[in-house]
Chains A and B, each alone.
Chain A
Amino acid sequence: MSALPITFPEVETTSVELNVNDRCYQLTLQPRTHLADALRDHCGLTATHVGCEQGVCGACTIEVDGAPQRSCLQSAKRFEGRQIRTLEAFDDDPLMAQLRAAFSAEHALQCGYCTPGMLMTARDIVLRLPDADEARVAEELAGNLCRCTGYFGIVRAILRVLRERNSTVSSQEITHAA
């Protein structure tokens, strides 16, 4: 029996220029390649995780022009001209440091797969909703799935940071363009 002839169609590629973490990346991608794959496979920025690729799990959450978005849902080409920030950009961010410490203290991660998306979302919650209570934090976290912790640790960690920030005036001003 001879093998069936399999022909692969020609796939067009296009040049994509992305501004990620204040660096410019010149990439050659297929139009269908979504941003999360472009970040991981073509920019080498692997903090952004790919989970469900349906917009539900939140592991791929990044910041676009100052507001969190999914990076798995559309072509990287559509992010040209936007300011993209991935978790790698927040190494020296004082609020992200505070969140990392709280996540450690409150057992807000176990396997760590959801953590990059959780941190991006948590930072948005803290900046956008400084008066959020436990119920609101839980509501806002609905877009990030965690299969290890049962969420209680994550909610506690975010509430801890909100408490810390409300009780002390931060010495370093953190700008947030939501």
Chain B
Amino acid sequence: MKPSAYSLIKADDLAQASAQLAENGWGSKPVAGCQSLGAMLNLRLAQPESLLDLDAFESLRAVTDTGDAIRFGAMTTHAAIEDKRVPDPSQGLMPFVARGIAYRAVRNRGTLGGSLCHADPAADWISTMPLLGATLHVLGPSGQRDIAARDFMTSAYETQLVDGEILVAVSVPKRTTSMQWSYRKLCRKTGELSHAMTSGIRDSSDGTERVVIGALDGAPFVVERAGLMTELLQGAVREQIVRQAAPELELDRRHTLMEMLRLVALDMGKTR
């Protein structure tokens, strides 16, 4: 199908773009790579009045080393991360995740920030950024603010962003070889949005042990505590976590997630 009519608007700078979006209200959306929104436009699941084209803003593509973190411009493409054309703060986790996003032709255009703002529960970065303890930098009509990645998504396709706010960058803390990670998702076909997703990190240098369950009905579920990975080897703990993450889940999906959590815990002992 074809999209319903919309107009494509441009702005001179990000501040103007933000003001324009705030003025236009909910019928106007900023557009980055347009790889998820494009499909929804064609299916008419989304019928915006106007899209604000972010392509012109080179600052959204800048990737900088800020000392203890890598700051990715929101329009860093999945392919740039996959190819390690940008620095990797995550000991190989981010390139691994990037390679599993959709297909190469999509990764060449789709962006980190666009995926986060689209907030499809089954997408990859929306779970990976909370896992890595990332911080999102947002520009809005009332200035800049930072949002912790784990608080960003509120429910399916809903984020904390208000009218006029634009995600400009994402800071991901640097991890050393003391971090181990695991990232598992269940797809029936390579590249499709996942049906179940679990991931975890363990860093012996600062004691971080964190697990994220994604592809739920709403926002990803984050668990973080000392000794978590050892605890996860017990079925009762896994069941408790999965029940907390998704109380209404049917039995087979619950068991799938419990098994995937066990595999995440087992992955921690492996070298990559």
Contact residues of A with B, CB < 8 Å?
9, 11-12, 14, 30-34, 37, 53-56, 58, 61, 64, 67-70, 72-75, 77-78, 121, 124, 138-140, 142-144, 178
Instruction: Name the CB-closest residue of B to A129.
Output: B104
Taking a contact as CB atoms under 8 Å apart, the answer to whether B53 and A68 are in contact is: no
Chain A residues, Cβ within 8 Å of B79: 67
Contact with A along B92-107 (1 / 0, CB 8 A): 0000000000111110
How many angstroms between the C-alpha atoms of A73 and B43 in the bound complex?
A: 11
Contact check, B42 vs A53: say whether CB atoms are below 8 A apart: yes
CA distance A80 to B31 in the complex (A): 16
Contacts of A138 in B (CB 8 A): 190
B108 and A143 contact, CB distance less than 8 A: no
Contacts between the two chains (Cβ within 8 Å), count? 92
In the bound complex, CA of A56 to CA of B191 (Å) = 9
> How far is it, in angstroms, between the C-alpha of A31 and the C-alpha of B52 when the chains are bound?
12
With contact pairs A68-B105, A70-B105, A142-B190 given, residues A54 and B42 touching in the complex (Cβ less than 8 Å): yes
Q: Do residues B42 and A30 form an inter-chain contact, with CB atoms below 8 A? A: no
* A contact residues around B105 at 8 Å (CB): 58, 61, 68-70, 121, 143
Partner of B7 from the list A12, A55, A58 (CB cut-off 8 Å) is: A12
Q: Using A11-B5, A69-B105 as known contacts, list a sample of 9 further A-B pairs with CB atoms less than 8 Å apart, ordered by residue number in A.
A: A55-B106, A68-B104, A72-B38, A73-B39, A74-B34, A78-B8, A78-B53, A143-B102, A143-B106
Pick from B1, B102, B105, B109 the residue with the most CB of A within 10 Å: B105
Does B35 lie within 8 Å of A32, measured CB to CB? no
Residues of A within 8 A of B5 (CB): 9, 11-12, 30-32
In residues 75-134 of chain B, which contact A (Cβ within 8 Å)?
Answer: 79, 83, 102-106, 108-109
B248 to chain A, nearest CB (A): 29
Residues of A within 8 A of B1 (CB): 53
A143 with B39, Cβ < 8 A, contacts A32-B5, A68-B108, A78-B53 known: no
Contact string against A for B residues 1-39, beta-carbon threshold 8 Å, 1 for contact and 0 otherwise: 111111110000000000000000000000100110011
Contacts A14-B8, A54-B43, A142-B191; A34 near B104 (Cβ below 8 A) = no
CB distance from A26 to the nearest CB of B (A): 18
Minimum distance in angstroms from A45 CB to a CB of chain B: 18
> Known interface pairs A69-B108, A121-B104, A143-B105. Does A31 touch B38 (Cβ–Cβ under 8 Å)?
no
Given A55-B102, A61-B105, A73-B39, the answer on whether A78 and B7 have CB atoms closer than 8 Å is no
Residues on A with beta carbons closer than 8 Å to the beta carbon of B104? 68, 121, 124, 140, 143
- The answer to whether B8 and A143 have CB atoms under 8 Å apart is no
B189 within 8 A of A: yes
A143–B103 contact, CB under 8 A?
yes
Contact present for B4 and A32 (CB under 8 Å): yes
Does residue B55 face the partner (Cβ distance < 8 Å to A)? yes
A55, B39: Cβ atoms under 8 Å? yes
- A178 to B1 CA separation, bound complex (whole angstroms): 31
